[in-house]
Amino acid sequence: MSAERRNKNRGYQQLLVWEDAIELYGLAFGAVRGWPFELKKLASQSNASSDSVHRNIAEGYCRRTVREYLQHLNVALGSLGETLSGFIAYSRNGQIESSTFEQLDTLIFRLENRLLKLVEALERKRDSKDWTETLIVREDPIEYGTDPAIAHDLRILLDGAVE
């Protein structure tokens, strides 16, 4: 993201969960690309559910209440479950290679755990008695496997009280 295009509404682009979700969409799209006509509906559903994950992370981030952010993160988790369930079925029925499924499953597992940690952190902040109008939720560099020096802050602006 270039310096001239930075603002607080685009902060989701710095989130590891969002990066993982973008990667998931690419892997899912590639896994079903070229499927025959009779499987196009399944391919379309897989693309839509994997696409929904990164979109809900972004939309929730851009909302101005923790309640709405959490709601969108939970929708993202639902879409992630839908995506995984589809690929489990495709793998068990020989519609995708086991190596492709393993790559998808590994990424989905990591993304799911990161999303759950983010939801938990936001819930703790929401429920704390010492919140301010600007909540800062730090991504846990240990959970994310990154150097603490490059961990990013999530800033969520609240409209009045936490709902």
- Taking residue 5's Cβ as centre, other Cβ atoms within 10 Å add up to 8
Q: Indicate the domain borders of the chain.
A: 3-157
Q: What is the pLDDT of residue 135?
A: 53
The predicted structure's pLDDT at residue 11:
84
* 154: β partners: 137
- 3-state class percentages of the chain: helix first, strand second, coil last, to nearest 5: 70, 5, 20
How far is residue 69's CA from residue 139's CA, in Å, rounded to a whole number?
Answer: 15
* Angstrom distances, CA of residue 114 to CA of 9, 47, 100, 101, 104: 21, 21, 21, 20, 15
> Mind listing the pLDDT tens digit of every residue in the chain (163 residues)?
555 666 677 888 989 999 999 999 999 999 999 999 999 999 999 999 999 999 999 999 998 788 899 999 999 999 999 999 999 999 999 999 999 999 999 999 999 999 999 999 888 888 876 655 455 555 555 554 444 443 444 444 333 323 3
Q: According to the model, what pLDDT value does residue 102 have? A: 98
pTM: 0.79
- In terms of CATH architecture, what is 3-157? Up-down Bundle (1.20)
Tokens of 159: 């409209």
